[in-house]
Amino acid sequence: EVQLVESGGGVVQPGGSLRLSCAASGFNFDVSTMHWVRQAPGKGLEWVSLISWDGDSTYYADSVRGRFTISRDNSKNSLYLQMNRLRAEDTALYYCVRSTASYYPFDYWGQGTLVTVSP
Amino acid sequence: DIQMTQSPSTLSASVGDRVTITCRASQSINRWLAWYQQKPGKAPKLLIYKASNLESGVPLRFSGSGSGTEFTLTISSLQPDDFATYYCQQYNTYSRTFGQGTKVEIK
């Protein structure tokens, strides 16, 4: 059974940092492209970042580029998102998501971890 | 970035109705379009990929069509389990933009 389990969310002050983790199981993580997608409360879905299977290629939404860093550890079947200089508008449920390869849709989603940026 | 525009934003329908949701891309995305269904408190679920291919396990009442910049998701006979929010998404570029969503409500 495929599982993506996010952790690391919480409440942080504006300007602060947080590191999200995603533990993957039930599929070949080390050949999968992985993403972070977020959803602000009551709002739609926003793609945040992508990392290639080998970690060599990373891409970011304009809204987070320069503040967030995506990484992975294939030996631990884990995906990460380092979030710095957080803003109120970063408040959202963050999903860990898989696509088979870079130009494939999102076939597996975690249940999300909530990040709240508030004074 | 490619912008995705869905219409309508909200749709009120009854069980048994035929429902169509439209998604327009700001530039051609060939057929690199997916549709997702999201229920409250749950993660989105992939329904259709490459514009018209049904994901395994998805009921045959769901279908997709289109290419280039205009796409549709059709539910042939709406069932109680289908009341949810639907999102289109382009994956023609690495920046995977979503439409703003269409909420299908009970009439």
Closest chain B residue to A45, measured at CA:
B98
Whether residue A103 has pLDDT greater than 90: no
What is the pLDDT averaged over residues A92-106? 92
Residue with tokens 């069932």: B79
Measure B85 CA to nearest chain A CA, in Å: 9
Look at residue A101 in the predicted model and tell me its pLDDT: 79
Does the pLDDT of residue B3 top 90, yes or no? yes
Chain B residues within an 8 Å CB radius of A46: 98
Mean pLDDT of B59-75: 98
Q: What is the DSSP string of B10-79?
A: EEEE-TT--EEEEEEESS--TT-EEEEEE-TTS--EEEEETTTEEPTT--TTEEEEEETTEEEEEESS--
- Closest CA relative to residue B49, chosen from B4, B14, B89, B98: B89
Helix (H, G, I), strand (E, B) or coil at A31: helix
Residues of A in contact with B99 (CB under 8 A): 44
For residue A106, the distance in angstroms to the closest alpha carbon of chain B comes to 7
The per-residue pLDDT for A32 is: 95
Q: What is the pLDDT of residues A46-78, one digit of tens each?
A: 999 999 999 999 999 999 999 999 999 999 999
> With bands split at pLDDT 50, 70 and 90, how would you rate the model's confidence at B59?
very high
